[in-house]
Amino acid sequence: MQDYRFDDNIDNFPIAMAYVPWQHFDQIFDNLEKAYRIGTIFPDLDKPFTGRRCV
Amino acid sequence: MMNNKEQMLFDIGIIDFVLVDLMEYLDTHPFDQAAMDYFNHYAKIKNQMVKEFSQKYYPLTKDLAESNKEWRWGSAPLPWEGVC
């Protein structure tokens, strides 16, 4: 199985497959109560659902 | 306004959430040293907090129910008493 790096050109990936970019450990929220309310400790994953588009 | 007991339980809940989130990350990144350092750090803090709460109010787990004059396990409020 070929391993695709996340910075490879997405046009070279096999079509019709879904891809999830690999998460890298960067930082966590300083304010853990805020993280608790948001639902993740990772600022990268703070993706509020708007019902329409990605944030 | 939360009293001290409620605040401590709330904080334990937050730390436990942090551990769960780190755990999920570590499940897919088992060699990530930075994440492991965070996990170890917060696991230690959580253990301290749970121990402190259990000594001050009531035992949160059986292994912290050590008692002298009165059996303390039964001193915890019951689920239908609106605490958990």
Looking at the domain assignment, is residue A4 inside a domain?
no
User: What is the Cα–Cα distance from B4 to A35, expressed in whole angstroms?
Assistant: 22
pTM, two decimal places: 0.82
CA distances for B72 relative to A12, B6, B10, B68, angstroms: 64, 19, 21, 9
pLDDT in tens, A25-40: 989 999 999 999 999 9
Give how far B73 is from chain A: nearest CA, Å. Answer: 29
* Number of domains composing chain A: 1
Q: What is the pLDDT of residues B35-76, one digit of tens each?
A: 999 999 999 999 999 999 999 999 999 999 988 888 999 888
Q: Is residue A29 part of a domain?
A: yes
- Within a domain: A16: no
Position A4 pLDDT exceeds 60: no
Spell out which residues of chain A touch residue B22, defining contact as CB-CB under 8 Å. Answer: 41
Contact list, B21 vs chain A (CB under 8 Å): 35, 40-42
Contact residues, chain B, for A35 at CB < 8 Å: 14, 17-18, 21
Asked whether residue A12 is domain-assigned, the answer is no
* Residue A55 domain boundaries: 22-55
Confidence tier at A3 by pLDDT (50, 70, 90) = low
CB atoms A41 and B21 under 8 Å: yes
Indicate whether A41 belongs to any domain: yes
Residue A15 maps to a domain: no
Q: State yes or no: pLDDT of A53 exceeds 90.
A: no
A47: left (phi over 0), alpha (psi -120 to 50) or beta: beta
